[in-house]
A = this chain, B = another copy of it.
């Protein structure tokens, strides 16, 4: 195996017996991790694997939360790292367009866009670490997905290697295209189970003239969610509507709301004009403040780490529910934790009904981790009962295998399986991931 792979990508780009882990807490080992230097080399590696019935797991920035890059049960799985595919193949600011390879980081895309007065709106966390390919594989979201939509909305074309090792493109720089079935959209969010995305054409957009956050803290979850309702009824389209529950506020105190300790919900919205900011301040009511955007997002970026630090470890999910059930899901998260002897809490993308429901854990306490795993299953049940989903933006990966079968009708699951078989008849693309 190693000699063959080395002949395709160079011996210095084949590592042996490598541990693969992401932010999910899952990990595993692959006998070989190859780092192709081009899309053509990715195709050559896939062709070799497909010919030799060798399973593949594509590896991006390793910042995922669902074990998407952790190998499944097959000990002979080859890891394919996209790091070396880090070229911006083209960037045409005046055409609001960029073609970037899969290994380009989220931060690089964002920075290059910003330097030219543009934004690439999807803003999942871990920007310095996460890569475009991973964002595409999970159809990543982030705070600004509320107004701007998830990653796939901003991708007009992808280049991918599909079975049995063919480098193809679906779409391109053209902004509208209905000539074929939307295989571009099908591969986005497929977590590498239908092929390996090697590059994408991104749609950019001029940066909004201003980023004007507003924030307020509320004594109860219900009061905070009522304020979110008022925001939705204000006539304004906020760029983001974020929230933290009381436990998260305590773990990650907001510098712009020093008196929020003891509050049960903190709400942050972002306006893009002074007029809209004033409307949002009114919707959030007395005590709402309008801190600088840099301060808000610097703080917000640290929330996940701060919540983890509160006890040393945590288990986080990313269920999503219809927005009118947000309060139920926030309270339900705490109640589920309590039933398992765990401190439950959540924060997330309120406007999208997307909760990062979490349980605080003592590091190394395996029994506690097992209780949290059991509690997580109850989170999925709750999400479904509220009309929602087991994953809003992190994907299924290894961690949530089997959840779709609880969520979709059998015929719908059969359709998903049929599509998987059609595009990956040998079942070699990231086996065990996104398993219904």
Report A's interface with B, CB cutoff 8 A. Answer: 92, 94-97, 117, 138-139, 141, 145-146, 149-150, 152-153, 162, 166, 168-170, 172-183, 185-186, 188-190, 193-194, 205-206, 209, 229, 232-233, 235-237, 273, 275, 320-324, 349, 351-354, 387-396, 400, 403-404, 407-409, 411-413, 415-416, 418-423, 434, 436
Q: Is the CB of B353 within 8 A of A175?
A: yes
A181-B323 contact, Cβ under 8 Å, with A237-B205, A387-B172, A393-B176: no
Nearest CB on B from A266, distance (A): 21
Q: Is the CB of A232 within 8 A of B95?
A: yes
Which of B169, B183, B396 lies in contact with A178, CB distance below 8 A?
A: B396
Which of B139, B354, B387 lies in contact with A182, CB distance below 8 A?
A: B139
Bound-state Cα–Cα, A209 to B170, Å? 37
Q: Is the CB of B176 within 8 A of A320?
A: yes
Bound-state Cα–Cα, A28 to B320, Å? 46
Q: Is the CB of A183 within 8 A of B412?
A: yes
A229-B180 contact, Cβ under 8 Å, with A117-B235, A205-B237: no
Find chain B residues with CB under 8 A from A323 CB: 95, 175
A178-B393 contact, Cβ under 8 Å, with A169-B412, A418-B422: yes
A-B contact pairs, 6 of them (CB 8 A): A176-B320, A176-B349, A178-B395, A179-B390, A181-B190, A185-B186
A409-B149 contact, Cβ under 8 Å, with A176-B141, A235-B117: no
Find chain B residues with CB under 8 A from A152 CB: 182, 185
Q: Is the CB of A181 within 8 A of B177?
A: no
A206-B412 contact, Cβ under 8 Å, with A177-B392, A178-B394, A392-B177: no
Q: Is the CB of A418 within 8 A of B423?
A: yes
Pick the 7 closest A-B CB pairs, nearest first: A166-B411, A422-B422, A185-B185, A176-B392, A418-B422, A168-B412, A177-B389
Find chain B residues with CB under 8 A from A393 CB: 176, 178
Q: Is the CB of A181 within 8 A of B176?
A: no
Nearest CB on B from A404, distance (A): 5
Bound-state Cα–Cα, A243 to B388, Å? 42
Bound-state Cα–Cα, A394 to B179, Å? 9
Find chain B residues with CB under 8 A from A193 CB: 181
- With both beta carbons as reference points, the residue of chain B lying nearest to A208 in the complex is identified as B237
Find chain B residues with CB under 8 A from A97 CB: 322
Nearest CB on B from A73, distance (A): 21
Bound-state Cα–Cα, A193 to B178, Å? 13
Nearest CB on B from A85, distance (A): 19
Q: Is the CB of B412 within 8 A of A423?
A: no
Find chain B residues with CB under 8 A from A95 CB: 232, 322-324
Q: Is the CB of A173 within 8 A of B229?
A: no
Nearest CB on B from A166, distance (A): 4
Find chain B residues with CB under 8 A from A117 CB: 235
A409-B169 contact, Cβ under 8 Å, with A181-B420, A423-B418: yes
Find chain B residues with CB under 8 A from A236 CB: 206
Q: Is the CB of A412 within 8 A of B190?
A: no
Q: Is the CB of A168 within 8 A of B321?
A: no
Nearest CB on B from A83, distance (A): 23
Nearest CB on B from A196, distance (A): 14
Q: Is the CB of B138 within 8 A of A173?
A: no
Q: Is the CB of A403 within 8 A of B183?
A: no
Give the one of A94, A170, A181 with max B CB within 10 A. Answer: A181
